[in-house]
Every structure is written in C-alpha cells, then in structure tokens.
Amino acid sequence: MLALLAPGQGSQKPGFLSPWLDLPGARARLNWWSALAGVDLVHLGTEADADEIKDTAKTQPLLVAAGLLAAEHLPLHDVGLLAGHSIGEITAGSLAGVFSSETALTLAAVRGREMAAACALEETGMAAVLGGDPDEVAAAIEAAGAYAANVNGAGQTVAAGSAEAIDKLAAQPPAKARIIKLQVAGAFHTPYMATARAALEELAGGITSHDPRRILLSNADGAAVAGGQETVRRLVRQVTSPVRWDKCMTTLADLGVTAIIELPPAGTLAGLAKRALKGIEIVTVNTPDDLGKARDLIARHGVVPSTEPGVSFHVAVSPAAGRFAPAEIAEGAEVTEGDLLGRVLTRREPVDLVAAHTGVLVEWLASDDDPIAAGQPLARIHPGGIL
C-alpha cells in the first residue's frame, strides 16, 4: 500500500512554487484559489521572502494550495491512504474526497487568520525537543508549564506554551535532549488557540462533506476517520489538540504501507519516516520534475487499478476497540449496504461492523482475532461492483 502525505507549517521555503507555474493552467488555478483565500498565492509561492511566508495567515492557505496543485498531476485513484501534518490534514481531507479544493482553501484561510489572531493575544512560542527518553521529555515539558503540541516520533517532540514556559524548558532540558526554540508566531495546537477553535466551530456546520473515499488518518490518534462530518469535527478540535504524528506513523506500519510520497514542500515528513519506518520507499515531490518518480512509485505500490477512470475505494473502519471477528466473506465477494461485515468483540458486548456502501470487498485489512483500535481500517470496498 502507498501513502500520500501532506506537510505542515514550517516546511515552506521562498520561491518553492516557482517551477509549478510552468505547468498548463497552474497560474490560473492559483489565482482562483487566491480569490477564495484572500491572499496572493502566486506572489507568496514565488516572490515572497522567508519572513513573509512565516505569517500564519498566509502560510496555511499557501501550503494547502501547493499540495493540491501537485496532487492534480498524480493518479490518486491508485493511492490507498492519505495523511497530513497539522494544516496538511486539510490537504489530505480534500484529496480523500471529504470536501472540495475550494472548501479546503477557504477553510485553510480562516484557520490561518484565526490562529494568527490568537497568537497576538499573548506572548507564546514553541521549541523542538530532540532526543531524550520520551517519558522524561513529556515530564519535563509538563514541569515547565508547557504542552507537547507535536509528538512527531523519531525522537522529536515540539513543546508549546507561554514564553516563560519555553524559557524554563530551555533552561532545564530533559537528559540527553537538545532544545531548539522555533521561530513561530505562537503556541499552536494548545489551549492558547481556543479563540481560533471557537471561530472554526461557527463555520463547521456549513461545510458540505462526504465520507472519505480512501483511508484518511487523523492527527488526533493516528486512526482512520470514518465519516465526512467526523473529519470536519476533528479538524476543528485539532487546533487546540496535540498533533500525534507518531501514532500516524505507527498506523502506516501496522497497515503494511510499503511506499510514501510527500507532497510539496516536501522533506520534513519524509525525514521522520526514514528514521521510524525502515525499508519503505520514499519519494519527495518538490518540483514537476519529481512527478515521474512519484507516478512510478504509485504504479508499483498503489492500489491495483481498475479499468474505470477515477475509481475510488470506501474503507470500513472499526466502531470500537477490541478483537476482530470478520464475517465469512471472501475477498472479491459483493456486499450490500447494511450487510454485516463482522463484529468487534469488546469487554462489554460485541459491536457490529456494517457495510456503509454497496460494492466488492476487495481486501480485508485485519484478520480474525486481531486486536484493533477504534477507527482502525478493517476492509476496503470497491463501490463499482464486479471488478
């Protein structure tokens, strides 16, 4: 299985979108998205300096636009799994079919503006904690009065909090760990972003959403998200909650992901994956010249394509934690919406796993008596009937 990853804030570089403007229609697409986002994406991606693109209100829609623009040139119907880091979750959600690219850019723009406004309310900051024992790192962050805003795995945690808390952590680092203060506007993914979350909650009910057509992982816990409305709710809550990218990478390993493509501006998530997921192939897409390598990787590791253009897959996810008892349905058999796919045996009582879509059960993603978590993908269903 192949995973397509969308990076988060901090991965941007001056001029990184310049080579993409040579592609037919790219400038027009960015101009349209600029109108929706209220920022000049062409200028930000080509001419703006490093200080300008550090502005949260501008960076967030810029990153979403970059990922969506590159993904338009890839065969997404063969991609089995999507995940994004922080603002990258909006990119991933759009590519999974939860909402349109227009909704993604609008949502990213509001999120960026509101988080920037929240940063201006109080002096806060973030710092990377590199190395150290994970339990000792967590304890040191808590003792300093800060929050573990990003738990990225591979020996990297990002702390966030008041300027005083970050200074205290830097002065008293955990054993065998380095502290690097980050040049960011404020304490993202902590309670300091409460006003931004409240603003997004007011908009969430008006977003038209659909169930993900591919496995879509959540930063909250690394689990797959089952529905469109739940995806939107999680995106809103994530503004004040830590990014658990470590759990996303654990899910990639558990599902047997064999290859990863990181969308532009690529490099950060690929670096984490190289250290945490041994033996997988990785392609970073930073310019159109990288698209050929990405397409080749998808051809070799992606979902087996059908003859139907634009085909996508539905994923049945676990409704609870427990052990899986699949129904006696062979891979390749037709299932109908409402059919019993199996049960999750919990400590209290069995919970039914029911097909939400009619189609062909292409692949079981868990076996009999496997321990499973709530939200874990259990089966992939092709919606088009017999393959």
Instruction: Please give the positions annotated as active site.
Output: 86, 189
- In the sheet that holds 371-372, the strands lie side by side as 350-354, 340-345, 322-326, 371-372
Q: Are strands 259-262 and 2-6 parallel, antiparallel or unpaired?
A: parallel
Angle at 373 between CA 351 and CA 209, to 5 degrees: 80
C-beta of residue 116 within 8 angstroms of C-beta of residue 55: yes
Phi, psi (5° rounding) for residue 93? -60, -40
Burial 329-361 (b: 16+ CB within 10 A, else e): beeeeebeeebebbbbbeeeeebebebbbbbbb
Write phi, then psi, for 81 (nearest 5 degrees).
-145, 145
How far from chain centre, in Å, is Cα 210?
17
> Torsions phi, psi of 370, nearest 5?
-65, 135
The greatest distance separating any two alpha carbons of the chain, rounded to the nearest whole angstrom, comes to 63
Cis peptide before 265 (omega within 30 of 0): yes
Cα 142 vs. chain centroid, distance in angstroms?
A: 26
Dihedral Cα 102, 118, 237, 89, nearest 10 deg: 40
* Backbone dihedral angles phi then psi of residue 71, each to the nearest 5 degrees: -65, -25
- The total of other beta-carbon atoms located within 10 Å of residue 88's CB is 28
Long-range contacts of 234-238 (CB under 8 A, 24+ apart): 234/89, 235/89, 235/90, 235/93, 235/107, 235/200, 236/197, 236/200, 236/201, 236/204, 237/197, 238/86, 238/89, 238/189
Concatenating the DSSP letter of every residue in 12-33 gives --TTTTGGGGGSTTHHHHHHHH
